[in-house]
Structures are given as structure tokens and as C-alpha cells.
Amino acid sequence: MITVKHNASIVGFVKVTIHHDIFEENHPFITIWSVRVKEEYRRQKVGTRLFEYIENIAKDMNCEIICLIANKDNIGANKFYKELCYECENGYVKFLKN
């Protein structure tokens, strides 16, 4: 969990998982699971700084990819991710309902 604080209050966070391959010699990769910024702090570069921080970690670890799990219905967030040069690629997901 990576958080952003302003005046001792958390104003944004992101859940990140770093995956290491213990069976083959593949490079590690990062999955971003949940990006949240308080509404009153949006469009103030909080999210951009979070992604820059994650990308610097990925580069330092010699990661080849960053996976981003995002809600396809959140148009604003998807526009933001595209502005950061994230591409929507094919993948597999299974949704489990209670």
C-alpha cells in the first residue's frame, strides 16, 4: 500500500503487488490493484505522483511490465490511465459473485 498524505491526512492510496518468478528467470512485474484519490484532491497531480513513484520502483527492480486492474466503466479514470501511456490489452479475469 502506497499512500499520499497532506497535512497528516491520507488523500490518496494505491495497492500494489510485486510479483517475483521463483521457478523461471523472468523479470518481476507489478500489479496495481486499487487507485484512490479523495475527490477534493483530484486534478492536483496526486494520482500522477503515485504512478511516477510506482514506475520508479518498477525501473529500479528491472520490471518489464506494470499491470493495472481498472474498472472499465470509470471513464475519467480510464482517460487518466491512457494519458499516462497505459494501454488496454487482452487478459483474463474471473469475477466471483457472493
Query: What is the full DSSP assignment across 28-79?
Result: PEEEEEEEEE-GGGTTTTHHHHHHHHHHHHHHHTT-S-EEE---TT-HHHHH
Q: Is the pLDDT of residue 35 over 90?
A: yes
- Please give the residue that has the higher pLDDT: either 44 or 24: 44
Confidence of residue 8 (pLDDT cuts 50, 70, 90): very high
pLDDT 10s digits, 61-90 = 999 899 999 988 999 999 999 999 999 887
Domains of the chain: residue spans and CATH = 2-83 (3.40.630.30)
Confidence of residue 36 (pLDDT cuts 50, 70, 90): very high
Q: Is the pLDDT of residue 98 over 70?
A: no
